[in-house]
Amino acid sequence: MKENTMEDTTLPKALHPLLQTKWHEEGFTEATSIQNEVFQPITEGEDVIAESPTGTGKTLAYVLPILQKIEADSQDLQVMILAPSHELVMQIHQVIVDWGKELSIRSASFIGGGNVQNQKEKLKKKPHIIVGSPGRVAELIKSKKMKVHNVRTIVIDEVDQLVSREHLNTIQSIIQSTLKERQLLFFSATVKEETEKVGNEMMKSPKVIRVKKGNTKNVEYQYIQVEQRDKVDTLRSALHALEHEKILVFVNEITKLGEIEEKLLFKGVKVATLASDAKKQDREKALKLFRQNEVNTLMVTDVAARGLDIQNVTMVLMLDLPRDYEQFVHRSGRTGRMGKSGQVLMLTNEREVREAKQFSKRLGCEALEKSIYGGKLLSVEEQQIQQKVNKSQARPKPKGKKPLGQKKKRSLAKKK
């Protein structure tokens, strides 16, 4: 067997020739840090716990080495990928379809709420890779419709969410139904200490990879201090001032989404809402409107937006501050992706200002105070300058003799 060299394990040189062609067709040049760092350990069958900021290409980081390991001539299911939301499942599956077709690899997606009979028909086509939500995958395994005895690799995407108390038992039952000698991969933008502990219990000497360099250099962090009761009105003013931006608005409580949407629509602000408890077709419609720029603002909760790859988001606006730093990282990573510039704007009451500054500081940034003035988002200094300009322009003219031109016009009027 040929020994691995540094050149062999660096993307895109390490890829199958057909995948290299696809790589260049997609306009990619250099791989991201996470893509380079996980390629060799995944290829060599190691268990991996990987943490990398949102927007650094994590999905492709595990998909590419997995595709190269698939035995395309086999009829067996070889890889399972689990994700927390329907949208993320479909997004990951699309990546696999786009890249897997180069190697004649079959795949299928399975989500709760989908037609069970149709999903059983998908399994008859013998996919090599399945992507699914934990509940539906567990159900198909339990009913013996999904044969997992030859699964060699399991990926848990957004792992810190899927090993929470709510999902952990389901995840464990799925893993235990597969081969004992299988590869387990954990991926997330944030890997908490308890998540790593779960990984160490399930894995064999996992390789822990943390990529800390994120999007802080090209993202501006800012806040507007406002009374809590005035937040929705300030949001409306901000959206008017930022009408040319592509904005994700984060709200903590799912019950508030509909009410805020109604108020904004009543005031003439076009928005769409992505709620995790909404019907599948309603969520798909909201995403489509936003992705196709038919609306520039999409209101979301953390659960609904988790892991979604929405291109060209220029601003993340937090109507409510997140409950912890990890959520702040996930939210902030929605903009400034793959080297593009972006903005994070937080609407904070007096009590929240300190926390907003602390979150930003932990990311290596300073949160600057802004305000909406004259229909624009301005810094404190810019507002003061504009106020002086407005004041000078509004100053009354000094009393005295009227200009000669005015006297002449009046005398001509009398003659007429």
Q: Where are the domains of the chain?
A: 17-210, 216-379
Contacts of residue 32, Cβ cutoff 8 Å, sequence gap at least 6: 52, 56, 57, 61, 211, 338
Tens digits of per-residue pLDDT, 136-177? 999 999 999 999 999 999 999 999 999 988 899 999 999 999
Exposure string for 157-169, b = 16+ CB within 10 A, e = fewer: bbbbbbbeeebee
pLDDT at 236 over 80: yes
Cα 102-104-110 angle, rounded to 5 deg: 105
Q: Which CATH number fits domain 216-379: 1.10.540.10, 3.40.50.300, 3.30.230.70, 3.40.50.720?
A: 3.40.50.300
Q: What is the CATH code for 17-210?
A: 3.40.50.300
pTM of whole model > 0.95?
no
Beta partners for residue 305, in sequence order: none
DSSP one-letter code for 27: T
Tens digits of per-residue pLDDT, 338-394? 778 899 999 999 999 999 999 999 988 999 999 999 899 998 888 888 888 888 887
pLDDT at 403 over 90: no
DSSP one-letter code for 393: H
Q: State the pLDDT confidence band at 1, using cuts at 50, 70 and 90.
A: very low
- 3-class DSSP state for residue 150? coil
Beta partners for residue 153, in sequence order: 79, 183
DSSP codes, 283-326: HHHHHHHHHTTS-SEEEE-HHHHTT---TT--EEEESS--SSHH
